Structure 1
Amino acid sequence: MKNIYRNFLYVTLLLSIFGACACKNPANKYSSPKGYDFSKPDKFNMPSSLLEISGIAFHNGNSDTVYSIQDEDGKLFRQKWDVKKQQNMKFGPKGDYEDLAIFQEMVFVLKSNGSLYSFPFSETVKEESDQVKERKHLVPKAEYESLYADPESNKIYILCKNCPVDKKTNALSGYVFDYKKEADSLTGPVPFKINLNHIKALDNKLKASLRPSALTRNPATKEWFILSSVNKLLLVADSNWKITAAHRLNSSIFNQPEGIAFDKDLNLYISNEGDELNDGNIIKFRYLPTVKK
Structure 2
Amino acid sequence: MSKVAAAIVIGIIGLVALIYFTMDFPFSLEREDFTEEYEIQEKWDLPQRLEEISGMDFVDDERMAAIQDEEGIIFIYNLTSKKIEQEIEFGKDGDYEGLALFGKDAFVLRSDGILFEVQDYLTKDIKVTEHETFIKAKHNAEGLCADLKNNRLLITVKDRDPLSNNTKGIYAFDLETKKLLQTPAYAIDLEDPIFSDVKRKNKLMVMMPSEVNINPVTGEIYITDGRNPKLLILSPDGDSKKLYLLKREKFYQPEGIAFKKNGELFISNEGHSDPANILRIKLQ
User: Normalising to structure 2: TM-score of the pair?
Assistant: 0.79
SS of residue in 2 equivalent to 1:190: coil
- After TM superposition, the structure 1 = structure 2 runs for residues 129-208 of structure 1, keeping only pairs within 5 Å, are 130-140=126-136, 142-163=139-160, 165=162, 169-180=165-176, 185-192=177-184, 193-198=187-192, 201-207=193-199
How far 1:130 moved relative to its partner?
A: 4.9
Aligned partners of 1:139 and 1:175 also within 8 Å: no
* 1:147-178 deviation line (CA, Å, top 9, x unaligned): 121111101111111126467x3311232122
SS of residue in 1 equivalent to 2:116: strand
Unaligned runs of 5+ in 1: 1-23, 33-37
Aligned partners of 1:118 and 1:132 also within 8 Å: yes
CA distance in 1, matches of 2:107, 2:70: 16
Pairing 1:279–2:275 present = yes
Structure 1 278/221 Cα, relative in aligned 2: closer, same or farther at 3 Å? same
Kindly, what percent of the aligned residue pairs are identical?
31
SS of residue in 1 equivalent to 2:67: strand
Paired position in structure 2 for 1:246: 243
Aligned partners of 2:104 and 2:121 also within 8 Å: no
SS of residue in 1 equivalent to 2:178: strand
Structure 1 266/195 Cα, relative in aligned 2: closer, same or farther at 3 Å? same
Structure 1 189/205 Cα, relative in aligned 2: closer, same or farther at 3 Å? same
Pairing 1:210–2:202 present = no
Structure 1 25/241 Cα, relative in aligned 2: closer, same or farther at 3 Å? closer
User: Normalising to structure 1: TM-score of the pair?
Assistant: 0.77
SS of residue in 1 equivalent to 2:39: coil
Paired position in structure 1 for 2:4: none
Paired position in structure 2 for 1:66: 64
- After TM superposition, the structure 1 = structure 2 runs for residues 17-36 of structure 1, keeping only pairs within 5 Å, are 29-32=34-37
RMSD: 2.2
Q: How many residues align?
A: 245
Q: For residue 50 of structure 1, what is the amino acid of its counterpart? A: L
Aligned partners of 2:171 and 2:183 also within 8 Å: yes
Unaligned runs of 5+ in 2: 1-30
How far 1:108 moved relative to its partner?
A: 0.3
